[in-house]
Structure 1
Amino acid sequence: MTATAYVDSPQAREALHRRTLKVVMASQVFSGAGLAAGVTVGALLAEDMLGTTSLSGLPAALFTFGSAGAALAVGRLSHRLGRRAGLTAGYAAGALGGAGVVLAAVLDNVALLLLSLLVYGAGTATNLQARYAGADLVGADRRGRAVSSVLVATTLGAVAGPNLVTATGRAAERWSIPGLAGPFALATIAYGLAGTILFLLLRPDPLQISRTLPPEPADTANPPAQGRRFAGSVTAGAATMVLTQLVMVAVMTMTPVHMKAHGHGLAATGLVIALHIAGMYLPSLVTGILVDRIGRVPVAVAAGATLLAAGIISAAAPEHSVALLALALILLGLGWNLGLVSGTAMITDAAPQATRAKTQGAVDLCVALAGAGGGIASGLVVSATSYATLSIAGGILALGVIPFVATQSRYHSTDEVQAGQG
């Protein structure tokens, strides 16, 4: 069947969109579990193997640096060969990295651990890049909801993953594998299954089909205004995702270390991280509706405000209070979600179909690098000051979203005035 046959009517296009969403969502259930492994125990494993708290943020930094390189690679591969090729390759790399972490823990080999964490980051990048596949075949009025549907699917695996920390740790120990490496064994299997689903079922390729669609009106009308809109939307969308990612990774990375230092066990830590990841993904359907109905900019502003609230609560939470830490981490996840969905919609709105995947990959590279910076800085800040200082500083930094999205509003207002004068 030719590519145009899949979209020769609104009904055919809608049917293909729904099928694509189902396939991507099925893969995200598994990849969510893989994503959660490193988040939950990565810092603890590094602390054990490196023997210092000051470097416990290094795993998050490494797999986020790996995520940065993979984001660009997956974006470019998707541009050339389609989403199926790019996403499958990314998950295969993530599975390889997870297996490497397990082997490094068995051998107590720090060099292999660091290299494997870098490769493991490809799974994180691919998990995020999959959200674009959900939006390839829909117009701007439904883009937020399409992105959100993919993120919601991630919730199932991502919430289950941290709660399996104890079980996977015990299973690993029965095989003479260090308990903290158990979740990475789960990640290896989960990423492998996610990639297999996409390789077998993501046909026809949604990105390649989208290139046969007629351009949206904004792509052809008023080219000077379109150029300004592209610059404004890409800057605002990238800044929104970069700042929210940096703050979220920094605070999230040090929460397990903070809890361990104050006597909380792995079960309590797993619960808090599971609730945090639920906050990252579960609100997505509502977020998508808000992005489509009230606009990208108000939701991005809400992201900054929510992250500030998370920082204040986590800083003020008594050391023994799991409930308040959980509330802070839920808000931290929600703020990230608001920023990711609104920022993704801004980027996808602005990027022409012909270069969309490359633009998305480049922006996700910046997002991942910001997360790496947050991961590195988090351990240093906590070691030099405190977890409370890190939390407050992160919340204040998140408010930097506001001036960037205000710039986007100005571009759109100018375009509308000029269009009216024309």
Structure 2
Amino acid sequence: MPDTAASDSLDVRRIQRRTVAVLATAQVLGGVSFGATLSLGVLLAANVSGDDSVAGLATAAVTFGTAVLAIPLAALARRRGRRISLTSGMLIALLGVLLVFAATGARSFPLLLAAFALIGAGQAANLQSRFAAIDLADDASRGRALSLVVWATTIGVVLGPNLVGPGEALGAQFALPTLTGPYVFTIVGQILAVVVYLVALRPDPLLLAQRLAIRSRHEAAASGVAHEDRPGVARYAIFAVAAAHAVMVSVMAMTPVHLLHHGASLSVIGFTISLHVAGMYALSPVFGILADRLGRGATVLVGQTLLAAALVTAAAGAESMAAVTAALVLLGLGWSATTVAGSALLTEASGEGVRTRRQGISDFTMSMVGAVGAVWAGLVLGGIGYAGLATVALILVAAVCVGAALTLRTRGREVRSPRPRHR
């Protein structure tokens, strides 16, 4: 029996490593395709509608679609596995991209918004993939596995927007409507991601985790697949991730407007946002390692410290280009630390029967507060300025820190550094 158990454990670890590699590959493909899509969404909406004032609805539609489809895709994962759920999300997004061509050709703005909402399914799938990376992970490696899939997004974020120029040239060759050429790369990327999911994501990590949990409660606990359900800690993890996202989106969305009003060029603004995005993704493996070694709660607090530093820097140096740039980098780092550690905390605080549902709720909440945060930030910016916006956002950081303190006091073991389990 010990030899059999050891063999099973090695097999699960091998499958887990392969799963992370497959998800990271698909995340790169999805990131490249959506990077090209989102960078053109606002311009395309303005072109089709003929009204620059409603162009922002393109981004809002994608965010809304991501939020609305997150829970159904999570439910599908629970019933049919990650492979079917992730593939379905990418196929729905592919339908949305095809509708972009139809809407642009017909000059139909409502249809274009519907297309962008469907494209949000791909974003929902990309968000879900970070949870798929830890279906089979143990306590000692959960943060690192999740962070590697998040890190893979960096490649897509960097490459995607750079495909706009070649895409337009390609579109001209095929007489495609203006601004839709880059969506050819989106279609190719999504099709390849679907193939990767369908062919390579075997065995399905979630279905295997469910079978392991059913086979033996003791065996599942020893392998790190099943955990005692702790709804209070799960709710805190959802809140921490959503609050960090709200802070990040609120300040990031208003930074280009603030810099433009202070005379910054578009190239400088673009460079600043690029550094911010690099902060969001590039160091996620570092935060994954910290989450595994220091603990999920401790790493969430590291993230809040970085967010607080970002907001103080932004408030104190609102008139300084260097200070605002530094604040945006810190903002991305704080978001990364909180998202990686908070997502790992949510998974291990949720029993097997409710885990995927809570993950879907987390993605839904994260997307919705991002949309609301962007709107709210515009109102605050207009009322009390950029420094005031950063100062108000500190309230959410303080709330997450208070929540961590309460969790430590009431259920301390749930936010301490997890210990590897040995057979």
Aligned to 1:231: 231
Partner of 1:132: 131
Give the direction of change, closer, same or farther, for the CA distance of 1:293–1:414 in structure 2 (3 Å limit). closer
Asked whether the equivalents of residues 34 and 123 of structure 1 are also in contact (C-alpha less than 8 Å), the reply is no
- Per-residue deviation at 1:293? 1.0
User: Match for 2:355: what amino acid?
Assistant: R
Q: Deviations over 1:254-297 (max 9, x none)?
A: 44555566676665554433332221111111101111111111
Deviation at 1:59, TM superposition (A): 3.1
CA distance in structure 1 between the aligned counterparts of 2:5 and 2:194, rounded to whole angstroms: 24
Q: Cα distance, 1:369 vs. partner?
A: 1.6
Question: In the alignment, does 2:383 pair up with 1:412?
Answer: no
CA separation of 1:273 and 1:112: change in aligned 2, threshold 3 A: farther
The Cα of 1:127 is off from its aligned counterpart by: 0.7
Q: Secondary structure at the match of 1:139?
A: coil
Which residue matches 1:299?
299
- The amino acid across from 1:235 in the alignment is R
The 3 A distance-change label for structure 1 pair 34 and 215 is: farther
2:204 equivalent to 1:205: yes
- Go from structure 1 to structure 2 and tell me whether the alpha carbon gap of 1:13 and 1:260 turns closer, same or farther (over 3 Å shift): same
1:353 aligned counterpart, secondary structure: coil
Question: Counterparts of 1:45 and 1:381 in 2: how far apart (Å)?
Answer: 27
Query: What secondary structure, in the 3-state scheme, does the structure 2 residue paired with 1:354 have?
Result: coil
TM-score with structure 2 length normalisation? 0.83
- Kindly indicate whether the alpha-carbon contact (under 8 Å) linking 2:163 and 2:182 is maintained by their aligned counterparts in 1: yes
Report the AA paired with residue 17 of structure 1. Q
- Once the two structures are superposed, the pairs formed by residues 21-420 of structure 1 within 5 Å of their partners are 21-37=20-36, 39-46=38-45, 49=49, 51-53=51-53, 55=54, 57-169=56-168, 171-172=170-171, 175=175, 177-179=177-179, 181=180, 183-213=182-212, 214-215=216-217, 226=228, 230-258=230-258, 268-314=268-314, 316-318=317-319, 321=321, 324-382=323-381, 386-413=385-412
In the alignment, structure 1 segments of 5+ residues that lack a partner are: 417-422
Aligned counterpart, 1:16? 15
| SS, match of residue 211 in structure 1 | helix
Q: Tell whether the 8 Å contact from 1:249 to 1:371 is kept in structure 2 after alignment.
A: yes
State how many pairs are aligned: 402
| Aligned equivalents of 1:383, 1:173: Cα separation in 2 | 41
Native 8 Å contact 2:349 2:414 kept in 1 = no
Q: Equivalents in 1 of 2:27, 2:366: separation in Å?
A: 20
Deviation at 1:395, TM superposition (A): 4.3
Unaligned 5+ runs, structure 2: 416-423
Contact 2:233 / 2:414 at 8 angstroms: preserved in 1?
A: no
SS at structure 2 position matched to 1:149 = helix
User: What SS does the aligned partner of 2:27 have?
Assistant: helix
Q: Distance in 1 between matches of 2:101 and 2:253?
A: 20
SS in 2 for 1:235: helix
Query: Residue 12 of structure 2 aligns to which amino acid in structure 1?
Result: R
Q: Report if aligned partners of 2:279, 2:329 keep a CA contact under 8 Å in 1.
A: yes
1:420 corresponds to which residue?
Answer: none
Distance (whole Å) between structure 1 residues aligned to residue 323 and residue 101 of structure 2:
33
Aligned pair in 2 of structure 1 residues 9, 217: CA closer, same or farther (>3 Å)? closer
Residue 339 of structure 1 aligns with an amino acid whose one-letter code is: T
**One-letter amino acid of the counterpart of residue 371, structure 2:** A
Greater relative contact order structure (CA < 8 Å, 6+ sep):
1
What RMSD in Å do the two structures reach over aligned CA positions? 3.2
Task: Indicate conservation of the 8 Å contact 1:162/1:271, yes or no.
Answer: no
| Residue 16 (structure 1) shift | 0.9
Measured in 1, the distance between the counterparts of 2:95 and 2:254 equals 26
Report the Cα distance in structure 2 between the residues aligned to 1:99 and 1:325, rounded to whole angstroms.
39
